[in-house]
Amino acid sequence: MNTARSSIRCAGCGWVAPADDAYPFRCAHADGDDVDHVLTRVLDTTAVRFPRGAEPDPFVRYRSLMHSYHLATDAGLGDDEYVQLIAALDRSVAAVDSRGFRVTPMRRNALLSDRLGFSGSGGVWVKDETGNVSGSHKGRHLMGLLIHLEVAERLGLTPAGRDTLAIASCGNAALAAAVVARAGGRRLRVFVPADADAGIVARLRRLGSDVVACPREPGVAGDPAYLRLREELAAGAVPFTCQGNENGLAIEGGETIAYEIASGGTALDHIVIQVGGGALASACAQGLREATELGAIAREPRLHTVQTTGAHPLERAYARVRALLPEGADAGRGSNAGRLRRADVERALASAAQHRSAYMWPWESEPKSIATGILDDETYDWRAVVGAMLTTGGQPLVVTEERLAEANELGTATGIPVDPTGSAGLAGLLDLRQSGAVGADERVAVLFTGVRRD
């Protein structure tokens, strides 16, 4: 599906979703080979401007960067009508979850900055998603998808309300999907692990979702809920997921978090992001890169990722891609040290994408951690995230349980009710401060992505 301002392309094989495809979610060639097929919304940054509006709803404020907006307005829908469509959906979200989507706070946190030994000019900036719809950032991915589905219906590309939506998740993504699907009046099936939290399952059911428990089977590698989701999608359900490999368009809604960070005016040196399936980090990487190309920020911050000692498939993939690049591929000195040339990185990633299983495969043992939201067996959006770490000179961090606990204690001491997954980025920052990779005068963002639910 193409508009003058954006297109949907497979980063693995180059396939472009055709104009009459109302579901530009998954590459048409995605099954049957070892290529890393992930659809990406490619923005023509020469044809759009970075929005400078102050609308409180990020989906309104950043609408001119969204594929659904390009699709709608190219087909003759007015800007007003598009805004009204979002406003109506947002009212429905608020009716279900007692709040709609609003730009979330981002502030320098004095307590964290002091405790981590930053100077007055440096510090820790916290982007707080704990008060976002359903208590995490996940709804951003799904609201972007819901808006797309509504636009496709409004334009007559799909029959109204016909689809069953489906997701595999053990927590925040499922809760967000249930809220957003309910707000859109759509059926949702949620595949959860057999040991999913009973409180969360009950809430999903109260929200009207059809919850399917998926036990692990001996000798079968991979997340059982995800394997069941794949079957459901093969049978025709629409992927309502927070994973770019299942629905590339999910990344776009998540990018609003990066656009908000870019609008904030703080020249960040680093951003440290916890990674499960990788959609959050992929969205941040893409959004910050676009914001840089559009002149909203001067330079992309270094992107560091955080996984746990329990499972770190992204770090494994990073090491393998890094090994494809020549020593000395370093693009710069001083503040550019460690940033690799984009062309070199793109070449290495293009080659890695032809042999996905040599870079990304399910973690062999069942991982455990207090940061339950980042225990995905695979980092589905690994390629975009590895690329961003290499071009910005960031690192894939692997943190211990002790560090996660320490970070959560520190995080909650700020008064923000963040859960251990939500504060895992801070755990990574503690490591980066200890190793000296982040200096006292530097500015660092962490994302408090999930609220404590107990």
List residues near ligand PLP by CB under 6 A: 136, 171-173, 242, 274-281, 373-374, 421-422, 449-450
Q: What are the helix (H) ranges across 341-420?
A: 342-353, 382-392, 401-413
CB of 193 to ligand PLP, least distance (A): 12
State which amino acid sits at residue 339.
R
Phi, psi of 247 (to 5 degrees): -150, 95
Other Cβ atoms less than 10 A from the Cβ of 356: the count is 21
Residue 316, CA distances (Å) to 8, 61, 220, 331 in order: 28, 37, 21, 23
Q: How far is residue 280's CA from residue 117's CA, in Å, rounded to a whole number?
A: 28
The tokens describing 35, both together, are 């290529």
CB of 415 to ligand PLP, least distance (A): 18
Residue 99, CA distances (Å) to 136, 168, 184, 411 in order: 12, 24, 15, 24
Based on CB atoms, which residue is closest to ligand PLP, 122 or 244?
A: 244
Q: Can you give the three-state secondary structure of 300-360, one letter per residue?
A: CCEEEEEEECCECHHHHHHHHHHCCCCCCCECCCHHHCCCECHHHHHHHHHHHHCCHHHCC
Q: How far is residue 383's CA from residue 164's CA, in Å, rounded to a whole number?
A: 29
CB of 241 to ligand PLP, least distance (A): 10
| CB-based contacts of 440, cutoff 8 Å, min separation 6 | 117, 118, 119, 122
Closest residue to ligand PLP, based on beta-carbon distance: 450
Based on CB atoms, which residue is closest to ligand PLP, 58 or 278?
A: 278
State which amino acid sits at residue 27.
C
CB of 2 to ligand PLP, least distance (A): 27
Helix (H, G, I), strand (E, B) or coil at 379: coil
Based on CB atoms, which residue is closest to ligand PLP, 209 or 421?
A: 421
CB of 424 to ligand PLP, least distance (A): 7
Query: What residues does 126 pair with on adjacent strands?
Result: 107, 446
CB of 372 to ligand PLP, least distance (A): 8
Q: How far is residue 171's CA from residue 178's CA, in Å, rounded to a whole number?
A: 11
CB of 9 to ligand PLP, least distance (A): 21
Based on CB atoms, which residue is closest to ligand PLP, 8 or 281?
A: 281
CB of 347 to ligand PLP, least distance (A): 26
CB of 232 to ligand PLP, least distance (A): 19
CB of 399 to ligand PLP, least distance (A): 14
CB-CB contact of 115 with 99 (8 Å): no
Residue (of 190, 132, 142) closest to 166 by Cα position: 190
Based on CB atoms, which residue is closest to ligand PLP, 281 or 317?
A: 281
Based on CB atoms, which residue is closest to ligand PLP, 92 or 308?
A: 308
Based on CB atoms, which residue is closest to ligand PLP, 224 or 422?
A: 422
CB of 446 to ligand PLP, least distance (A): 11
Based on CB atoms, which residue is closest to ligand PLP, 173 or 429?
A: 173
Based on CB atoms, which residue is closest to ligand PLP, 2 or 423?
A: 423
Based on CB atoms, which residue is closest to ligand PLP, 279 or 360?
A: 279
Based on CB atoms, which residue is closest to ligand PLP, 296 or 424?
A: 424
Q: How far is residue 390's CA from residue 322's CA, in Å, rounded to a whole number?
A: 8
Q: How far is residue 280's CA from residue 307's CA, in Å, rounded to a whole number?
A: 13
The tokens describing 12, both together, are 């693995």
The tokens describing 254, both together, are 């998540």
Q: Are strands 106-108 and 123-128 parallel, antiparallel or unpaired?
A: antiparallel
